[in-house]
Chain A
Amino acid sequence: MSNDNSYKPYRICSRCIMDTSDPNIRFDVHGLCDYCNNYDTTIDPNWQTDERGAAKLSALADTIREAGKGKDFDCIIGLSGGLDSSYAAFVAKEKMGLRPLLFHVDAGWNTDQAVGNIEKLVDGLGLDLYTDVVNWEAVKRMQVAFLRAGIPDQDLVQDAAFFSGLYRFARQYKIKHIITGSNFSTECCREPEEWGGYLGIDKRLFGDIWARCGDGRPNDEFPLVDILVYKIWYQKVLGMTVHHPLNLVPYVKKDAEDELGRLYGWQRFQHKHHESRFTRFYEDYWLPRKFGFHKRRAHFSSLIMTGQLTREAALERIAKPEMDEHFLTQEFEYVAHKLDLTVDDLQHIFAAPNKTFRDYKNKRDLIGFGANAMRKLGLEKRFFR
């Protein structure tokens, strides 16, 4: 869908808080947005966390345990230090009786709290940790190129590092079962693609952005597993499967935070994705102020749909940034300096015209086609996230 420059009156959903800052949003006669309708018709009926979920969880646990007999570990969990992956690790070990390897990708933006939470989980759950430290120079150069590219999809760089690291490791050690913290409870309202939620890691997009906005030298150290390679080769040929156990158990954000806090001293974050300093800055400053997109709308809307937050409370919170102005100013400087830019450099990049992924070579249609085809054939219910 192309950029439509005609004026659209502001409209907000009557149940959640998704609004016309998502240019593709649609409302029905009741004023409900398509995210809410999608939840009511597609997600909710198929989401069971009672004894049906428990049965599925148990069956899944058996499968994974069986497959992992005789190995040092039977599955791998990507751990960021944030709530979802932390709770998934807890469920895998304590509820499913599995022997997961905890896998952390350090892309250079860890907050002290994230690192502390990982440590507490490793110690508290008695599990082993493996860290993939991405070459910071490579990440830095790619991130600067993406910023210069002017697109909203700034988290793709960290995502690429994370998923490429995880899947490469799984392939190398022939691990078939991967557990992630993806869940309906806090993510049933997906972040719109227009807001920088690009579908997956697209080597063509990365390549073109690097060619046009990079520093001119090769960036071979940057880890990149193309999503189609992943989907076709890793999943279909090597038989890797990704599981989302948080959809099979009752998962209430506040309760989960309390439980992890009680058991392991785990510390809750102010908001989703705050375990990465860059993502926190990106979602609380860059995206809202440069593009007018507030990912928190989607996050809060998920919580509204699942009964964890009232619409009033959500509206109140979205009215101001998570972090105060002084903090954001300092983070702006920190991010600039860490990327080897001056504050002025980053200001210029911030003020430059906004672009989208469509301004660069990409295979979005192919990915979309592939995902749609797979969904139609019942081969896959979710995108790789």
Chain B
Amino acid sequence: MIRIVDYGVGNIQAFLNMFKRLGIEAARARTADELNDATRLILPGVGAFDTAMALLNQSGMRPRLEELVQGRQMPVIGICVGMQMLADGSDEGEQPGLGWVPGRVKAFATHPQSQDLPMPHMGWNDLKIRPGHELFADFEPEPRFYFLHSYYFDAANKADVAATAEYGLSFDCIVSRGHIHGVQCHPEKSHHFGAQLLKNFALN
């Protein structure tokens, strides 16, 4: 069962709708117990980094998630702020991140190449993907996804980067460290491109 971690932020319903369309079983998890039957995890997130981390810490699910992901190597995909939470920390706030993928979340507004662009980064943008990665199986030649964010993930080890996108600068938009994945864009709102990615995560 794919469990979507419902700790208070994130478009859970959109993921449920998407998996329903794909005919893949998925449900939300609000408590540690509801994670018992999980085989894969989705960590959504929108809004401010600190708010998201605080809510996750208060949700009572964090210890179980650590155990599942770090201990049992359960595949997990963080979406948008959910991806940012995988980092060690964010320039947006004070809270430490999960630290599951080494890196830091930075602001477009402080990077010389992007600081003059409209914020947030909003709209459809092209992905430059690492070919052969299981997340990108059956992808079309020019994949594009919907983005909506003002901060971006800067991975410490570029070997963890599975895809980049450009907004002023070329930034890490998909990270993949073994069974831990993070996606800055919104596959649940990216039509067939997103559906394929979620399908690949669920089945591969």
**Interfacial residues, chain A to chain B (CB-CB below 8 A):** 326, 330
Contact = CB atoms under 8 A, between A and B. Distances in A.
A326 B21 CA distance: 9
B132 interface: no
Nearest to A329: B23
Interface residues on B, range: under 10
Nearest to A325: B23
Contacts of B23: 326
A325 B21 CA distance: 12
A336 to B, nearest CB: 14
A330 B20 CA distance: 9
Contacts of A330: 20-21
B16 to A, nearest CB: 13
A329 to B, nearest CB: 9
A173 B21 CA distance: 45
A330 B18 CA distance: 12
3 contacts: A326-B23, A330-B20, A330-B21
Interface in B1-36: 20-21, 23
B191 to A, nearest CB: 13
Contacts of B20: 330
**Top 3 closest pairs, chain A to chain B, by CB:** A326-B23, A330-B21, A330-B20
Nearest to B23: A326
A330 B17 CA distance: 11
A326 B20 CA distance: 10
A334 to B, nearest CB: 11
A268 to B, nearest CB: 21
Contacts of B21: 330
Interface string B101-124: 000000000000000000000000
Nearest to B22: A326
A213 B23 CA distance: 35
B86 to A, nearest CB: 33
A330 B22 CA distance: 10
A330 B23 CA distance: 9
Contacts of A326: 23
Interface string B47-85: 000000000000000000000000000000000000000
B140 to A, nearest CB: 19
A176 B20 CA distance: 50
A30 to B, nearest CB: 47
A202 to B, nearest CB: 39
A245 B26 CA distance: 52
A116 to B, nearest CB: 16
A38 B3 CA distance: 60
A330 B21 CA distance: 8
B108 to A, nearest CB: 36
Interface in B34-50: none
A338 to B, nearest CB: 16
A202 B110 CA distance: 71
Nearest to B20: A330
B78 to A, nearest CB: 28
A343 to B, nearest CB: 13
A326 B23 CA distance: 7
B3 to A, nearest CB: 21
Nearest to B21: A330
A241 to B, nearest CB: 46
B21 to A, nearest CB: 7
A259 B59 CA distance: 61
B189 to A, nearest CB: 18
Interface string B81-98: 000000000000000000
Nearest to A324: B23
Nearest to A326: B23
Nearest to A327: B23
A287 B144 CA distance: 41
A82 to B, nearest CB: 25
B195 to A, nearest CB: 14
B161 to A, nearest CB: 35
B139 to A, nearest CB: 23
A324 to B, nearest CB: 9
A326 B22 CA distance: 9
A330 B24 CA distance: 13
B180 to A, nearest CB: 30
